[in-house]
């Protein structure tokens, strides 16, 4: 009986320790999944120690500028094979035929007029007047460099991918609060690895980590003009989506634009319908996914936005504090269990 009782008590101890480990361990994965400072979603795709790749040197500290990079794999964007990525400081990039081709640095226009301004099709996660020289602090936050656009390559589910990340960037505004910033990215994932001579189909993700700075944007009344610089102007819109440039006489562009009817102040964190609290074709809040197959858009639709409270922001210190707390709690529970077991054994 004594041995049986001891076994039952050891069994109960082991079960309690296991449950404790699960309870304190489960949130730790969530903390590790959103390491970007200020991020309130798990949507952003990061490397283990920071944003994928390195800052695009030619865009550091710039306002209204572009830099053309070589695409790691060709893209079939509306039937045009593109091997260049003309990245704009203003929230998007233009797939261009080669890395020798440039694009426009226009801003605060709807996607149709942005494509027309460059005579090129374009993709934008957040097209607005972003200023990489307008941040409050340019020192490393322990994870990345604020007010930089990172570019890097990776693999997602075994498929080649590249990631362009606007990390903690600020909007241009003479009256703007420099402590506010936005983190978002565009992820392009190749549909299939292997032969690059045909196909060039790909998936697109717009990922939003946090959106605190609601300045900038185009006018809903006249999409060829900027909206008011006043924060909270109901006329302001952000360009989110892409547009197909169609050369001809005259040139035209076909926009696939999300949220053209939603004011910017509703899309920011804490707004009535925040981008970080919604998603499209993904279970991950803050992630909006689509595809280009055979040069044709698939899965693009304007979702119905719902109100949602974002998760707690990661300030860079939350993870270590939580780990210490979890470890201390685990040690304390195990200690109490062992002490109780010894007392019961002595009594027996």
The pLDDT tens digits of the residues spanning 256-312 come to 999 999 999 999 999 999 999 999 999 999 999 999 999 999 999 999 999 865 555
Note the pLDDT of residue 31.
Answer: 31
What are the phi and psi torsion angles at 268 (to 5°)? Answer: -75, 165
What 3 state SS string does 30-76 have?
HHHHCCCCCCCCCCCCCCCCCCCCEECHHHCCCECCEEEEEEEEEEE
**Runs of H (alpha helix) within the chain:** 2-33, 111-118, 264-267, 318-347
Question: What are 318's two structure tokens?
Answer: 């939350």
Question: Average pLDDT in the 38-65 region?
Answer: 96
Question: CA angle, corner 26, sides to 22 and 27, nearest 5?
Answer: 140
Q: 330 or 203, which is more confident? A: 203
Do 183 and 210 meet the contact criterion of CB atoms below 8 Å apart?
A: yes
53 φψ region: left (φ > 0), alpha (ψ -120 to 50), beta (else): left
* pLDDT score for 332: 43
Contact 148, 137 (CB under 8 A): no
- Range among 19-28, 62-71, 313-322 with highest mean pLDDT value: 62-71
**243 close to 95: Cβ distance less than 8 angstroms:** no
Residue 235, burial from CB neighbour count under 10 angstroms (0-12, 13-18, 19+)? middle
**For residue 184, what are its two tokens?**
């978002």
In the chain, domain spans: 2-29+320-347, 38-313
């Amino acid at each position: 009986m004594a041995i049986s009782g001891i076994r039952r008590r050891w069994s109960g101890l082991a079960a309690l320790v296991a449950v404790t480990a699960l309870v304190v361990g489960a949130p730790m994965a969530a903390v590790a999944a959103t390491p970007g400072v200020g991020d309130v979603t798990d949507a952003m795709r990061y490397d283990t120690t920071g944003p994928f790749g390195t800052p695009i040197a030619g865009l550091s500290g710039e306002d209204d500028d572009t830099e053309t990079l070589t695409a790691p794999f060709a893209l079939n964007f509306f039937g045009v094979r593109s091997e260049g990525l003309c990245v704009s400081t203003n929230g998007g990039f233009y797939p261009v035929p080669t890395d020798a081709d440039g694009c426009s640095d226009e801003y605060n226009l709807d996607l149709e007029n942005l494509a027309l301004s460059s005579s090129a099709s374009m993709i934008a996660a957040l097209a607005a007047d972003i200023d990489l020289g307008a941040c409050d602090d340019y020192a490393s936050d322990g994870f990345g460099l604020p007010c930089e656009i990172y570019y890097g390559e990776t693999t997602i589910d075994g498929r080649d991918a590249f990631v362009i990340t606007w990390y903690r960037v600020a909007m241009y505004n003479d009256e703007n609060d420099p402590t506010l910033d936005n983190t978002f990215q565009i992820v392009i994932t190749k549909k299939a690895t292997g032969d690059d001579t045909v196909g060039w189909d790909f998936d697109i993700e717009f990922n939003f980590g946090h959106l605190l700075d609601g300045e900038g944007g185009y006018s809903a009344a006249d999409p060829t003009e900027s909206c008011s610089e006043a924060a909270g102007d109901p006329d302001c819109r952000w360009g989110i989506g892409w547009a197909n440039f169609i050369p001809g006489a005259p040139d035209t562009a076909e926009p696939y634009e999300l949220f053209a009817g939603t004011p910017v102040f509703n899309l920011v964190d804490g707004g009535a319908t925040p981008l970080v609290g919604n998603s499209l074709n993904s279970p991950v809040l803050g992630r909006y996914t689509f595809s280009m197959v055979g040069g044709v858009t698939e899965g693009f639709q304007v979702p119905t936005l719902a109100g949602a409270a974002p998760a707690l922001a990661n300030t860079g210190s939350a993870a270590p504090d939580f780990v210490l707390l979890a470890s201390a709690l685990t040690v304390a529970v195990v200690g109490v269990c062992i002490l109780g077991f010894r007392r019961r054994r002595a009594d027996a």
